[in-house]
Amino acid sequence: MKIVLVGPVFPYRGGISHFNTQLSRGLLDRGHDVHIYSFRRQYPGWLYPGVTDKEVGSSAVPIEAQYTLDPMYPWTWVKTSSMIEDIAPEVVIIHWWTTFWSLAYWSLVKLLQRSNHKIIYIIHNVAPHEPMPWDNWLARNVLNLGESHIVQSPNEKQRLEELIPGLHPVLCSHPVYNQFSGDKALTKDEARRQLGLKNDGLIVLFFGIVRPYKGLIYALQAISILNKEGISIRMLVAGEFWEQIEVYEDLIIQLGITDQILIYNRYIPNEDVSLFFSAADVFIAPYTGGTQSGSVKIAMSFNLPIIATDQISDDIMLESEFVHTVPSEDSQALSEAIKELIVQESPEIPNTTAPDTSWVDLITAIENLVDQNLEIKGSV
C-alpha cells in the first residue's frame, strides 16, 4: 500500500518526530511504500519556547523525507499537495498536535480532497497543552475534514467525541519507543560513571521538557516527604525547562533537598538518552494534565519500574504489572509509590515487561481503516 505521512521527523526533535519516524519504519518493515513530507520550518523562531526545535546530534533511526511544508508560506502547501497527488497514495496520514498548523493543514487537506485522497489523522493532542480560547474552533474545523481519526488515550477519545459529535475515533495506545534501548542500553554502573554520579543509593528519573502539566513540583515534594521519613532518594531531572527554572530551584532549597536533586537543564540528544534511563532505578511521570507520555514508553523499553499518574495511563501501561498508577497532584501518593518500589529488604527491583507488539497494533489499525474504505466500525 502506498502511504504518505505528514509530520515532523529528524532533524526536528521531540516525541512526535520520534513517533513519526518509528511509524514509518514499522510501515516499511510491513512492506508498505512510505513517503514522508515534513517541514522546511516547524515554527517561527520567536514562537518556539525552547532553545531550538532541531536535534543537536544524529538521528536515532535514519529516515528519508521531503522537507516541503512551511506554516507561513501558502505556496509550500500547494507544492506539497501537488507532490502528493503525483504519488497517488491510498491514504494520507497527518499528525495533529497543535492548532498552530491549522491553516496549513486545512488548506493541504482541502487541496488533496479535490483528488479524493483519503485522510487519517493521528491525534497526539486534540488541543495544545496550554489551550487558548480559539483552539477548539480551529481543531474542529481541521479535524472534521478527516475520514478517520486515531487517538491514543481514553481522555482524548472522549475529548474528540465531545468536540465533534458523531465521530467514532479509533483508540490505539501510544506504542513503546525502543530505538534508545536494546544494544544502546548501558550497565547501570557505566551509565552512572559517564554521568559523573556516585554508584550508591537509588535514583529516580524525571525526563523530558519541563512544563507545568508535567507535575515536577509534586515529584520534588514527594522526595521531601521521604526525607522526613529518613529515606534519602536522589532524583535526576533531565530536560529543558520551558518555564522559570528559578521557581524550582527555590522550591528545592525550601524543601531541603538540594543535595538530592541533579538538574540537567538541556534537551537530551538521542545519543545521551540511554545514559539517563540506564542510570535510573525508577522512572516517575507525575503529570497533572496532558494526553500520553513518550518518555514513559522509553522507560518501558528499558524495563524500568514506572510511577505515573492516572492522567496519562493507557491500556499498555495498565497491562504492565509494575507500572504503578497514582492520583495526580498527590505528593503523598507519589512518595508511597516510590517506597513501595525501592524501599524494601530485597535489593531486587521488579521490572516492567515492555510490549513488543505496540507498533504492530497501531499499523494494523491503520491497515484496517484503509481496508474498510476508511469507514470506522468501532475502536481498537
Report how far residue 173's alpha carbon sits from residue 156's, in angstroms, rounded to the nearest whole number: 11
Of 30, 28, 45, 34, give the one whose Cα is nearest residue 6: 34
Give the relative orientation of helices 294-301 and 15-29 as an angle to the nearest 10 degrees.
60
**129 contacts: CB under 8 Å, gap ≥ 6:** 211, 213, 289, 290
pLDDT of res. 294: 85
pLDDT of res. 77: 96
Of 165, 174, 82, give the one whose Cα is nearest residue 122: 174
pLDDT of res. 53: 66
56, three cell numbers: 543537536
Report how far residue 132's alpha carbon sits from residue 192's, in angstroms, rounded to the nearest whole number: 42
In 201-281, where does DSSP find H-type helix? 216-228, 245-255, 270-279
Beta bridge partners of 67: 38
Amino acid of residue 34: V
Amino acid of residue 133: P
b or e along 121-157 (b: 16 or more beta carbons within 10 Å of the residue's beta carbon)? bbbbbbbeeeeeeebbebbeebbebbbbbbbbbebbb
78, three cell numbers: 500547494
Report how far residue 172's alpha carbon sits from residue 300's, in angstroms, rounded to the nearest whole number: 17
Cis amide linkage into residue 44, ω under 30° from 0: no
Q: Count how many Cα atoms sit within 13 Å of the Cα of residue 57 in the half-sphere of its side chain.
A: 11
pLDDT of res. 50: 65
pLDDT of res. 132: 84
pLDDT of res. 57: 64
**DSSP E strands: which ranges in the chain?**
2-6, 33-39, 66-69, 91-96, 119-123, 148-151, 170-171, 203-207, 234-238, 261-264, 282-285, 306-309, 323-326
**DSSP E strands: which ranges in 74-188?**
91-96, 119-123, 148-151, 170-171
The domains of the chain, with CATH numbers, are: 2-176+358-371 (3.40.50.2000), 182-342 (3.40.50.2000)
Report how far residue 76's alpha carbon sits from residue 111's, in angstroms, rounded to the nearest whole number: 12
Global confidence as pTM:
0.84
pLDDT of res. 201: 85
pLDDT of res. 350: 47
As a residue count, the chain comes to 380
The rounded average pLDDT for each run of 10 residues, N- to C-terminus, in the chain (380 residues) is: 94 88 93 95 70 65 87 95 95 94 96 91 88 91 95 90 93 86 82 90 93 94 94 94 93 96 92 93 90 85 89 72 86 93 53 63 93 53
Of 189, 197, 199, 201, give the one whose Cα is nearest residue 232: 201
Cα 301 to Cα 45, 59, 291: the distances in Å are 33, 18, 20
Q: Given strand 119-123, what is the order of strands in its sheet?
A: 66-69, 33-39, 2-6, 91-96, 119-123, 148-151, 170-171
pLDDT of res. 315: 67
